[in-house]
């Protein structure tokens, strides 16, 4: 019985020791990670209300909290958004208990998105071709859609003068849309345009068999028209190391949904660090410091403390278990 109690005490002491390593201090455990919100001194939006995520850069903290903050609705007074309005909306949200740093002026000017000025055929940068004058709107369309590829804009009429007032945003892949402009005299004119979206797409440089692991040498870049953004891989690093779930012919675009995640867990991935003795366990968020596969021993550190580096075994792509120290 005496030996059994001694062994039990050793297990408890070892678990407490790892809890200290994992959690460092009570104040660090419960201190919220800082989320920074940056709002410029001028924003562009044609709506009477909009989300915080559509006009602000939100960084730091937890992904779930950032998503909550991105969806916070703002209702500005006319064309002015005040700092107090933003703080009130944050305080009324489910993220009110987060540690937040807000960077913005006391008041921000809101302007309708788009270009001011003359978009008619008499503009010195345009000729008499309707398609040419419509294509001058391409940068505006990309801005409204947050599209990083290219977009071709065509119309059967010249582009009206004035500022774009509607729509406030455009979904990438939309093939046709009606734009509304207001000139300096307050007159509103509409223009129907057709849109063709394109981007770089990864295609197979040779036949890829089901079960093959994708390598950079397997990929070529090709420009393609896109109707459903997010369907294809656009950069090699998006899919290198993934496993093909079907045969892919040479020259065929590589669909993201035809690939499965590799067993390789990459350095920098966010994981859970687990310390376990018997039935008792403790865990904390961490960052993987080395590439590895399930079963490999790798170094990992706490997300909120660079000084605490531990070694553990990869259980799966989301979990690393650290081993108790020998008594």
Does pLDDT of 17 surpass 50? yes
3-state secondary structure of 22: helix
State the residue for tokens 């734009």.
179
Topology classification of domain 35-111: eubacterium ventriosum atcc fold (2.60.480)
Task: Give pTM, 2 decimals.
Answer: 0.43
Query: Could you give the CA distance from residue 309 to residue 152 in angstroms, rounded to a whole number?
Result: 51
- With cut-offs at 50, 70 and 90, classify the pLDDT of residue 154: very high
Pairing mode of beta strands 80-82, 57-60: unpaired
- With cut-offs at 50, 70 and 90, classify the pLDDT of residue 295: confident
Query: Which one is the CATH code of 1-21+264-327: 2.130.10.10, 2.30.30.90, 3.90.230.10, 2.30.30.760?
Result: 2.30.30.760
Count Cα neighbours of 307 within 13 Å in the Cβ-side half-sphere.
3
Q: Are 61 and 98 in contact (CB under 8 A)?
A: yes
CATH architecture, range 115-262: Alpha-Beta Complex (3.90)
Tokens representing residue 195 in the block: 């849109």
- With cut-offs at 50, 70 and 90, classify the pLDDT of residue 32: very low
Residue range 210-235: mean pLDDT, rounded: 87
Q: Are 277 and 286 in contact (CB under 8 A)?
A: no
Q: Are 244 and 209 in contact (CB under 8 A)?
A: yes
Distances (CA, A) of 65 to 28, 34, 303: 18, 11, 16
Query: Could you give the CA distance from residue 151 to residue 121 in angstroms, rounded to a whole number?
Result: 21
Comparing 36-40, 58-62, 267-271, 277-281, the range with the smallest average pLDDT is 277-281
Q: Where exactly are the structural domains of the chain?
A: 1-21+264-327, 35-111, 115-262
Tell me what percent of the chain is helix, strand and coil, each rounded to the nearest 5. Answer: 20, 35, 40
What pLDDT score was predicted for residue 119? Answer: 35
Comparing 4-18, 162-176, 238-252, 261-275, the range with the smallest average pLDDT is 4-18
Query: Could you give the CA distance from residue 225 to residue 55 in angstroms, rounded to a whole number?
Result: 29
DSSP one-letter code for 71: T
What pLDDT score was predicted for residue 79? Answer: 77
Query: Could you give the CA distance from residue 227 to residue 43 in angstroms, rounded to a whole number?
Result: 29
Distances (CA, A) of 279 to 12, 81, 318: 11, 54, 20
Continuous segment of H or E residues that includes residue 319: strand 319-322
Query: Could you give the CA distance from residue 115 to residue 119 in angstroms, rounded to a whole number?
Result: 9
Q: Is the peptide bond before 173 cis (omega within 30 degrees of 0)?
A: no
Query: Could you give the CA distance from residue 162 to residue 139 in angstroms, rounded to a whole number?
Result: 16
């Amino acid at each position: 019985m005496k030996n059994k109690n001694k062994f039990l005490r050793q297990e408890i002491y070892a678990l407490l020791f790892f809890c200290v390593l994992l959690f460092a201090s009570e104040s660090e455990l419960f201190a919220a990670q800082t989320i920074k919100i940056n709002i410029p001194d001028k924003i562009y939006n044609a709506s009477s209300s909009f989300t915080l995520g559509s006009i602000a850069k939100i960084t730091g903290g937890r992904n779930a909290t950032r998503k909550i903050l991105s969806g916070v609705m703002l209702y500005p007074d006319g064309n002015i958004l005040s700092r107090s309005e933003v703080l009130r909306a944050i305080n009324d949200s489910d993220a009110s208990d987060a540690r937040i740093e807000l960077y913005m002026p006391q008041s921000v000017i809101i302007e309708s998105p788009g270009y001011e000025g003359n978009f008619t055929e008499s503009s010195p940068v345009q000729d008499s071709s309707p398609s040419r004058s419509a294509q001058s709107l391409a940068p505006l369309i990309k801005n409204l859609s947050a599209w990083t590829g290219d977009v071709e804009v065509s119309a059967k009429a010249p582009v009206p003068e004035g500022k774009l007032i509607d729509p406030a945003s455009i979904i990438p892949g939309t093939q046709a849309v009606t734009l509304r402009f207001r000139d300096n005299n307050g007159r509103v004119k509409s223009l129907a345009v057709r849109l063709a979206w394109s981007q770089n797409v990864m295609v197979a440089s040779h036949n890829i068999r089901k079960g093959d692991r994708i390598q950079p040498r397997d990929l070529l870049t090709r420009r393609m028209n896109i109707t459903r953004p997010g369907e294809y891989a656009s950069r090699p690093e998006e899919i290198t190391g993934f496993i093909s779930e079907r045969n892919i012919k040479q020259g065929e675009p590589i669909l993201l949904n035809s690939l499965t995640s590799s067993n390789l867990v990459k350095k920098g991935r966010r994981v859970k660090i687990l310390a376990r003795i018997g039935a008792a366990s403790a865990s904390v968020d961490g960052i993987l410091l080395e590439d590895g596969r399930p079963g490999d021993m790798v170094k990992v550190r706490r997300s909120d403390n660079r000084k605490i580096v531990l070694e553990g075994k990869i259980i799966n792509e989301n979990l690393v278990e650290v081993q108790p120290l020998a008594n």
